[in-house]
Structure 1
């Protein structure tokens, strides 16, 4: 199997890398956190590169590229610790709208491509944990009532895809920001990214999908998010490992660089091994997105299980190798650790996906197929 990237994919990587280096430096990121964890200027910058249309059909002004291209972009955004919810707005939103009525697609997809509209999934509820179902939110005659938690950039979004149960069963609805009965309370997560609580009280919505199709679409969106998160985590871990290696090469004790100490060299080897395990599983996730649902769901749980272990190990070890400076807000290493910690808890933590992998084991007897 060929794991080399095409010239176009390498050019895409270079473009995102230049954006991160030029427009998303560490001090710029800290300023964005102070302002609430979302920058409209940064979002417009990503749109200016054409990234918002990466997976939007050409009929709506998009590029209609594939999951490998998305993986390339997410890795570079992970390198730069970009806070803006690119995966939500540019990968999940077009996917969730793919089964919407044509009028709804024609209204929203071109605006997503232009960066004018941020549409995010609002699926989590208190007590729901990581289950992918419609929760306690109810829809009656097209009006939704319920509470959704940890909605990515909820205070900045222009619309939400909201799972709910209506008269005909499970469904997905599009709810516009500012709609009647919608109350949004924004806050900043531990890693500095923006999130919000959504309260819906007889809030009007437009139905996107219904019944088994809605449930299948929600599960596909979650698996797509897991693949994107895996690539972002690999980018973040790769940057953190390089930062740690540079630190060990410059920090001196007893007149020599501590990188020469055999015990620390062994620890760096273990860290590098976890990074490469994560990278291989990120590739695996991307390649499995086109599989039938049962195989895809099992594969993505396997991916998140390994990523959870790698993120925790790399984050903890690199922070410890930095010593006291590794936990200070003024040094970027601590922000990588925070981001990896938050990602480990999103879309199902390690224990959740260990249970998912175990439940889906059949004749393999624990061997990943």
Structure 2
């Protein structure tokens, strides 16, 4: 199989490498995440100007005809700089819902805004008691004339402080954990009854607790089929997992490089600790885990277009393997750096936090191990 990238994809990677290197150095990022807003709208506008926000959309929808591989390239470079801008919630998640199930009117209203950077989305799916079960929903959407009325609470909605719109999962029928009866809606964040509590996350991003108090949305806010939204949610979240796997691969690569550089500089007994064979072995283990993670990311990305069972197996396998690798690489990096590695003065601590948090998004290692076993049996 040919794993070479096209000339256009290589050009995108080169452009992103330069952008991240010039605008996301360690000190600049620290200043950004410590600021009141927690991000830079001018960087988002620059991503739009470069065409990166429109890359995964078809030309018919106003995009540039790319796909999951292009998102993988973007996310890997973002991972190297620990970029906090909400690419996954907006382009991968909201864009995925619109691509797969949006009506012509919804695509016309929203995809152009995503592409030019004027519309920013957050994906409100998680609930305090739902764990990783997308069907465990207490948020409800009840039909009222030509509208739906939403009530409920969504937790840890990444990117919501910056969002103009929310993609919300809600129960339109059935019991709390039924696989059927789930629907997906686009909600204007400024709508009456939407209440948010914003906060920083441990890995430098921003999130919100989002409360819906009798929020009325029109019937045309429904994405896809009423009561039949779970397969669509699983498809889009699998695409998001593949994109985040690529992001974490980028972060792993930098974490490994930072660890090698530190080991060459740090001295014990008058020699660099990089000369100690036991530490060399540990750094080789880190590199091996990184290389396996890249291969698993490629596999998951390429399988996104396969049938449902094959897609889910590949994505869960990648989430398990890369979650384990992220844990090992993050832990080893901190161990080799010593206590200094956990201070804000050293970049490795920030990479460790992102590698650690990855495991809790869209299902952890244990969750995806169980899903993979169930699909394989």
Whether TM-score is above 0.5 comes out as yes
Judge conservation of contact 1:89–1:118 (CA < 8 Å) in 2. yes
- Measured at CA, do residues 66 and 100 of structure 1 come closer, stay the same or move farther in structure 2, by a change above 3 Å? closer
Match of 2:295 among 250, 257, 280: 280
1:212 deviation in Å?
A: 6.3
1:102 to 101, 104, 127: 104
1:178 aligns with 2:179: no
**In the TM superposition, what are the counterparts of 1:1-369 in structure 2 within 5 Å?**
1-35=1-35, 36-98=37-99, 99-133=101-135, 135-140=137-142, 141=144, 142-166=148-172, 169-205=181-217, 206-211=221-226, 213-362=228-377
Equivalent-residue separation in structure 2 for 1:250 and 1:6 (angstroms):
38
**CA-to-aligned-CA distance 1:258-281 (integer Å, 9 cap, x gap):** 211111111111111111111111
Q: How many residues align?
A: 362
| Partner deviation per Cα, 1:143-178 (whole Å, 9 max, x = no partner) | 211111111111210001111122593211100011
Tell me the CA shift for residue 211 of structure 1.
4.1
Structure 1 counterpart SS, 2:160: coil
Do 2:151 and 2:213's aligned partners in 1 also have CA atoms closer than 8 Å? yes
Equivalent residues of 1:147, 1:197 under 8 A apart:
yes
Unpaired runs of 5+ residues, structure 1, are 363-369
Contact 2:172-2:227 at 8 Å conserved across structures: no
CA distance in 2, matches of 1:270, 1:247: 17
Give me the whole-angstrom Cα distance separating, in 2, the residues matched to 1:84 and 1:134.
Answer: 29
Q: Distance in 1 between matches of 2:265 and 2:10?
A: 31
Structure 2: gaps spanning 5 or more residues: 175-180
**Partner of residue 366, structure 1:** none
TM-score (norm 2): 0.93
- Runs of 4+ in structure 1 over 4 Å off: none
- What is the RMSD of the two structures over their aligned residues, measured on CA atoms? 1.4
| Further displaced range: 2-11 or 185-194 | 2-11
State whether residues 334 and 341 of structure 2, in contact with CA within 8 Å, keep that contact through their aligned partners in structure 1. Answer: yes
Structure 1 residue 134 displacement after superposition: 6.0
Inter-partner Cα distance in structure 1 for 2:61 and 2:122: 19
Query: What TM-score comes out, normalization by structure 1 length?
Result: 0.95
